[in-house]
Amino acid sequence: MFNQHFGQYLLNEKKITSEQLVEVMEYERSARIKLGVLAINAGFMTAEQVENVHHLQRVKDKRFGELAVEQGYITYAQLEDLLENQHCRHLGLSQVIVDKGYLSLAQLEEVLASYKGDTQQTGEEIDRMDFDEAARKLLDFSSEGAQGEVYQDYIALLQRNIVRFLDVAPLIGKNENVGAINNQWLIYQRIAGEINLFTGLAMNDEALLEIARKYSGEELTEIDALAKDSVAEFLNMVNGIFCVNASNQGMELDLQLQKVVQDQMPALEKGYRIPIALTLGKIDVIVAVGE
Amino acid sequence: MEENKTRILICDDSSLIRKQLKDLLINMNCEVVEAVNGKEVVEIYQEAQPDVVFMDIVMPEADGLEALKKIKEYDLEAKVVMLSSIGTSTKLIQALKSGAMDFIQKPYTAEQISKVISNIRQVPIASSL
């Protein structure tokens, strides 16, 4: 969860692009976390000191930790502490971002410091966060009252099901006004009853095909009825669970037919668009009052 | 129609559900016919005389509830299993009151479908007599 949360932070702060983020998320699980990134994260060394040790490694056949101690940047106890933490996965994303050259060590040092200042939470604490908390922290529907709570619950449920069925690491961005649909497919479904909710997934051709393939397990090669129905069925399944959850709280809801349109946005009273970056492509989740 | 095979009518507007359910049922040695909405299913039921119908609730033209009532008017003994993504919907309760044999929440599992087929095969099937 730390990697997802930190990735979202980088995206929101425009430190990296969504394309770069999707790319690094593919590699973060296999990344070997190096002592330099660990030392910066722990506050034991500055980016400049890490760069200096890297420079020394070009002229001396010595390990990073050994040189860092020799230079007086860290103590042996701190080195042991870093080595013990080398297996922790929560810095995988930071390591890949540096390895790919999307941020320099100095930029990483700066952004990690501002991130920690903004969130007031450690990586370990964020690792324990669930999607409900993550959505609640990032999304702002405060002007919507009770409907805002519905949106929060819906986005958290959708994220959980994306993890279950599509992609292990969805990265959610901040909500914005819904706007227009250009060069995109929109798969949508209304939920009606005590709660009226419009739900939609907007995406381009590539993302639709990738998501359809992943969810259906079918060998799809073009955007045909089967591909469109596959994404529509994913949305229908999520919405079905939403209705069951509502029913458990005493609210009876019904689903209307799913629809798939291109470059069209149904008239909505007020809606929001929430970007989610997946390794399968970028999607925008649309939520609005359903009537 | 082939003899000795359980005849199944699948009715769902989703081509994904129809394809995957058909693949599964063919592997269970069933013969499958399809309908894409609640209007078509009533006509195809009369032609195909299936042993069991798997039917969605939310569909275009006519929904699963209307289709169920019409099928039951035609054949009181019709065996219809409703497929729904909402396991608690009032529509589902209405369907059971209207004579649906059972319901399965989507996404279904192969085991759930297999259980229905086994139950059907335990009673004498007109087509195999």
pLDDT at position A159 is 86
Q: With CB atoms and an 8 Å threshold, state whether A233 touches B105.
A: no
| Domain A131-289 part of CATH 3.40.1280.10 | no
Burial A158-188 (b: 16+ CB within 10 A, else e): bbbbbeeebbebbbbbebeebeebeebbbbb
φ, ψ of residue A268 to 5 degrees: the values are -120, 140
Which residues in chain B are contacts of A255 at CB distance < 8 A? 58, 85-86
Task: In whole angstroms, give the CA distance from residue B21 to residue B10.
Answer: 8
Taking only the tens of pLDDT, chain A with its 291 residues reads 677 778 877 877 888 887 788 778 777 767 778 889 889 988 899 999 999 898 888 777 778 999 999 999 999 999 988 888 777 666 888 888 888 888 999 998 888 888 877 665 555 555 555 666 767 777 888 888 888 889 998 998 898 888 778 876 678 888 888 887 777 899 999 999 888 899 999 999 999 999 999 999 999 999 999 999 999 999 999 999 899 888 888 888 889 999 999 988 888 878 899 988 888 888 999 999 876
* Tokens 């994303």 found at: A93
Hey, what CATH topology would domain B6-121 get?
Rossmann fold (3.40.50)
Task: In whole angstroms, give the CA distance from residue A266 to residue A272.
Answer: 13
CA distance A242 to chain B (A): 9
pLDDT at position B3 is 59
Q: With CB atoms and an 8 Å threshold, state whether A229 touches B14.
A: yes
Which residues in chain A are contacts of B17 at CB distance < 8 A? 229, 233
**What is the residue-wise DSSP string for A62-80?**
--HHHHHHHTTSS-HHHHH
Output the CA angle A147-A150-A154, nearest 5 degrees.
145
DSSP B10: E
CA distance B124 to chain A (A): 35
Instruction: Tell me which residue of B97, B55, B57, B52 sits closest to B77, measured CA to CA.
Output: B52
- B80 sits in which H/E element: strand B80-84
Which of A225, A240, A252 lies nearest to residue B90, judging by beta carbons? A252
Task: In whole angstroms, give the CA distance from residue A165 to residue A168.
Answer: 8
Task: In whole angstroms, give the CA distance from residue B84 to residue B105.
Answer: 5
Interface test with A, best of B12, B34, B86 (most A CBs within 10 A): B86
Reported as half-sphere exposure (CB side, CA atoms, 13 A), residue B112 has a value of 13
Q: Cα torsion at A38, A43, A45, A47 (round to 10°)?
A: 80
Interface test with A, best of B12, B14, B16, B65 (most A CBs within 10 A): B16
Which residue type occupies A164? R
Which of B58, B87, B107 lies nearest to residue A244, judging by beta carbons? B87
Q: With CB atoms and an 8 Å threshold, state whether A229 touches B20.
A: no
A131-138 and A146-165 helices cross at what angle (nearest 10)? 130
Q: With CB atoms and an 8 Å threshold, state whether B89 touches A254.
A: yes
- A124 sits in which H/E element: helix A123-127
Task: In whole angstroms, give the CA distance from residue A158 to residue A140.
Answer: 17
Domain ranges of chain B: 6-121
* Tokens 């870093």 found at: A82
Residue intervals of chain A classified under CATH 3.40.1550.10 are 131-289
Taking only the tens of pLDDT, chain B with its 129 residues reads 555 789 999 999 999 999 999 999 999 999 999 999 999 999 999 999 999 999 999 898 889 999 999 999 999 999 999 998 876 667 778 888 899 998 888 888 888 899 999 988 876 544 433
